[in-house]
Amino acid sequence: MTSPSLPVVRLRPKANARAIRHGFPWVYDNELVTDRRTRALPAGSLAILQDAERTPLGVVAFNADSRIICRMVDEDPAARIDQDWFAARLDRAQALRERLYPGPFYRLIHAEADGLPGVVIDRFDHCAVVQPNAAWAEARLDALVAALVDVTGVSVVIKNAGGRARVLEGLDDASGVVRGQAPAGPVAVPMNGATYMADLMGGQKTGLFYDQRDNHAFAARLSRQARVLDVFSHVGGFGLAALAGGADSALAVDGSQPALELAQAGAARGGMAARFDSRRGDAFDVMAALAEEGRRFDVVICDPPAFAPTKKALEKGLRAYERVARMAAELVEDGGYLGLCSCSHAADLARFRGACNRGIGRAGRRAQLIHTGQAGPDHPLLPQLAESGYLKALFYRL
């Protein structure tokens, strides 16, 4: 049974309908029969997806302007995508996070893996930041926000419209508060014994990167009585966790002065300001300067932005990761630890590890790979979608 009110779109005969039936959530534009009628559907329209034999596969979100022309929304062709439907998905997602974490600070919705394709929601106690990165979610933002408030009890909802994904969907970049009033200042977020200050209105992405929580904790275990260097630190991610874990000192390096000021504020909130220092500048330039100064650290962590956000940028990105590894390895004390991270979708674990290994070798160092990390469990993976497992963290002893 299908919903009679929705248009129908159909896979081409050579399209892999089996993959869709087994949970792959995307249909690419070369896999769908397109004619004047389908191309006229507004971006974000819901439709019934059929295979080439006209068997319904589910409700999809359609966008003729996107390379991903259909995203699976519900495998039930009769599903009604309304506020109650959003509430059921949100309730299921919240149940997992409440089991994992003692307080309401986590990624609540991680897109396809939580059944809301293209949607990211991070929760900061009574505030939630929503990234509707797909046209279907943008078109139904009111229902999504209403369900979010009902399920979680948050009083402030902020829409973040930054990021490359919205551009690919043909969406605007207009961010703002959609429910309640904007927070008066940065929001304090407790995590791994440290306090982070998240700028929900003007910070990167949603204001804080929850995905590194478990990797922060592992780095903190290595950092007892250590001198720590946190490169590409943002608001103090690894550095503050290391201090909370007993590090003697932490130096945070970032190109953003506002981010470093938030890191300093977090250190002060946690009573760690005396052990925290920062240096603003290009990460490569600062690492070169530290090497010239003869500085060495017991633990060095590098968590750069995505150097390989697309397949076209892969080779250039891998060279950048190799360079980071080489320069960082030169700053690690003998017997010390090096953590290297990548959030690039296009660089899989094997390629990223290869680039890091080459960089360490070029620095003249020998290493033991002691731990491989990924995003925390509030960033679940959809097994059929490799792209949902973007974060990689490698820890070496040099």
H or E stretch including 368? strand 368-373
Using one digit for the tens of pLDDT, what is the confidence trace for 346-364? 999 999 999 999 999 999 9
Tokens found for residue 125: 């106690």
Question: Residue 53 to residues 24, 74, 173: CA-CA distances in angstroms?
Answer: 19, 20, 40
Q: Could you tell me the fold of the domain covering 193-397?
A: Rossmann fold (3.40.50)
* Inter-residue contact 266 to 197 (CB < 8 Å): yes
3-state secondary structure of 140: coil
Task: Provide the pLDDT for residue 152.
Answer: 98
Q: Is the pLDDT of residue 310 over 80?
A: yes
Question: How far, in whole angstroms, is CA 122 from its chain's centroid?
Answer: 10
Between helix 213-222 and helix 237-244 the angle, nearest 10°, is 50
pTM over 0.85: yes
Kindly tell me if the per-residue pLDDT of 389 is higher than 90: no
The DSSP 8-state label assigned to residue 346 in this structure reads S
Containing 227, the helix (H) or strand (E) segment is strand 227-231
Q: In 3D, which of 232, 46, 64, 51 has the Cα closest to residue 143?
A: 46
pLDDT above 80 (res 380): yes
> What does the pLDDT average to over 222-227?
98
Mean pLDDT of all residues in 323-329:
98
**Stretch 85-112: mean pLDDT:** 98
Mode of pairing for the β-strands spanning 68-74 and 56-62:
antiparallel
Residue 356 in contact with residue 322, Cβ under 8 Å? yes
Q: What is the DSSP string of 52-104?
A: TT--EEEEEEE-TTSSEEEEEEES-TT---SHHHHHHHHHHHHHHHHHH-SSS
Domain positions in the chain = 8-74, 83-179, 193-397
Q: What is the percentage of the chain residues whose pLDDT exceeds 90?
A: 91
Write the CATH number of the domain with boundaries 8-74: 2.30.130.10
Instruction: Give the residue among 132, 265, 270, 139 at the shortest CA–CA distance from 193.
Output: 270
How far CA 265 is from CA of 186, 194, 269, 270, 396, in Å, comes to 10, 11, 6, 9, 30
- 65-82 pLDDT, tens digit per residue, is 899 999 999 999 999 999
Q: Token pair for residue 190?
A: 């407790």
Give which of 61, 55, 63, 73 is closest to 15, Cα–Cα.
55
Evaluate if residue 4 carries a pLDDT over 70. Answer: no
d(CA 88, CA 364): 54
Q: What are phi and psi of 284, to 5 degrees?
A: -65, -40
Query: Which 3 state secondary structure label does DSSP give 120?
Result: strand
pLDDT for 5 equals: 87
Q: Are 154 and 126 in contact (CB under 8 A)?
A: yes
d(CA 255, CA 231): 10
Tell me the C-alpha distance between 256 and 287, whole Å: 16
pLDDT digits (tens, 9 = 90+) for 52-63: 999 999 999 999
Report the 3 state secondary structure along 193-225: CEEEEECCCCCCCCCCCHHHHHHHHHHHHHCCC
Active site residues: 343
Spatial CB neighbours of 77, under 8 Å, sequence gap ≥ 6: 1, 2, 3, 48, 56, 57, 58, 59
- pLDDT (mean) for 201-210: 85
Q: Can you read off the two tokens belonging to residue 177?
A: 């508060």
Q: Is the pLDDT confidence value at 3 over 60?
A: no
For residue 386, what pLDDT band results from cuts at 50, 70 and 90?
confident
83-179 under CATH 3.30.750.80, yes or no: yes
Say if residue 205's pLDDT is above 80: no
